[in-house]
Structure formats: C-alpha cells, structure tokens
Amino acid sequence: MKKQFLISVLILSSISLLAENKLKLKKTIDKPKEEIKDVKNIIKINLGQLGNTGGVGLTYERMINSNVSASMGISGKYSSISVGGNGFLTGYQKTSGIGFMPEVRFYALPNYNAPRGLYLGAFYNYYNEKYEVKNYDFNNDEVLGSVSSTFNSIGATIGWMFRIKSSFVIDLQLGPVFQSIDSPSFFDIKSSNGSVFNKEKSPNTTKTELTGAFLFSLGYAF
C-alpha cells in the first residue's frame, strides 16, 4: 500500500512538473517582441567625415510626417601645433573651422517606425576654415598670417538608421558629393609693422570636384 502511494505521488509530481514546464515554454513563445516606439526627434553626434572638411558635428533631426524628416547639423574643427625653436621663440599653426548642414530624408520602408531603416537623403553643406600662423623673424620680432577657405557641398546619400531599445541610434550613410573649395593659393606673413615678411602656401586649393561622403553617427531618439 505504501509502495503504491509513493508511486502515485511520483506520477502526480511528474505530471505537475511537465504541465508547469509546458506553461513556461508557452509563455516564452507567446511573449511579445519589444515594440519600437514612434519618435519625432533625434540628436546625433557625427563621428565620420564629409568630403574634405572632417571634424566632429552635432545634428538635430525632426520627423515631418511618417516618412520624411528634416535636420540641421553643425560641425567644428580645431587643431594647434607649435613651430619654431632652435634659438627662436616658439610660435604656432592653428586650424579652426565651423560648418552648417541642412538635410532632408525620405525613409523608404513603409510601416517601419521611421526614423528607422533604409533612407535616401539630400543635403547642402557650408564650411569655413581658418588657418593661422604665428612665428618670429631673425630679430625675434613677431610675424603673423592667416587665410580662410570656404567649402560648399551638395550631395545625395543612401543610409540605414538602426534603433536599439527604441531610443539608441546608429546612423550610417554614404554617397556622392559635389564640392567647391574657394581658397587663395598663397597668403602674406606680416611683421608687426605691417610689412610683408614672406608668403606661405595655403593649406587648401581652389577647385571643384566630385568626392564622396561617409557619415557615422551615434544618437538618441525621443
């Protein structure tokens, strides 16, 4: 009798355990996938390169409707190196720049919770860069010079917007860019009295060219 009771308990326990595991499995299978929320705004840090300008930028993108967005980006660059020495005072060479880039995008995949997935974009980019030199002549008198270059670019891109946990964004885009650079070939290095000490070649060259754009951005959608 005792043996039959133990067998019955074991059978009931096994049935109960199987039923519980089946229920857990069903809940796992039936668990809904995480929903991608609809968002209207994205703030992105651009870490890639646009044409020849380089630099790091910040972009704000806003959805106009379910498939189209407009954005405005601002980019900047700054670098400075020391020059001179060997008995002369130490000077510098500085490069600084700032740019603005409006863009329109069309998210091509229907019912895909844009801004997300494949998109086509068109943009205009304005960028101004200033190159400055400070050094010293043979009498250790200060000599200075500077030159500005202007970049104007228009282009079209194809890209993909990844959204992780609905809010974290990875944005990759590439495409052709038509770019115009306006820059003097040489600029004057002047002494403190205003006289020209020498001429130096500009770091940029006036030209118009077809180049390419590659942008890699990280951002937050809300």
Per-residue pLDDT tens over the stretch 72-103 = 999 988 999 998 766 668 899 999 999 999 99
Domain shared by 156 and 175, yes or no: yes
Statement to judge: residues 93 and 167 lie in one domain: yes
192: phi > 0 → left, psi -120 to 50 → alpha, else beta; which? alpha
Q: Which domain holds residue 85?
A: 35-221
18 and 80: one domain?
no
Residues 101, 199 within the same domain: yes
Q: What is the mean pLDDT of residues 63-69?
A: 96
Q: Is the domain of 91 the same as that of 8?
A: no
Q: Do 119 and 179 belong together in one domain? A: yes
User: Is 66 found in the same domain as 14?
Assistant: no
The residue written with tokens 């929903």 in the block is 35
CATH of the domain at 60: 2.40.160.20
CB half-sphere exposure, 216, CA atoms < 13 A: 3
User: How long, in residues, is the chain?
Assistant: 222
Residue 35: φ, ψ to 5°:
-80, 140
Stretch 182-191: mean pLDDT: 95
Mean pLDDT along residues 176-203: 93
pLDDT digits over 145-165, tens only? Answer: 999 999 999 999 999 999 998
State whether 141 and 191 are in the same domain.
yes
pTM here is 0.77
153, 215: one domain: yes
Give the least confident one: 3-12, 64-73, 96-105. Answer: 3-12
Q: Do 57 and 75 fall within a single domain?
A: yes
Residue 2 pLDDT: 45
Contact between residue 183 and residue 207 where contact means Cβ atoms under 8 Å apart: no
Looking at the fold, whether 4 and 40 belong to one and the same domain comes out as no
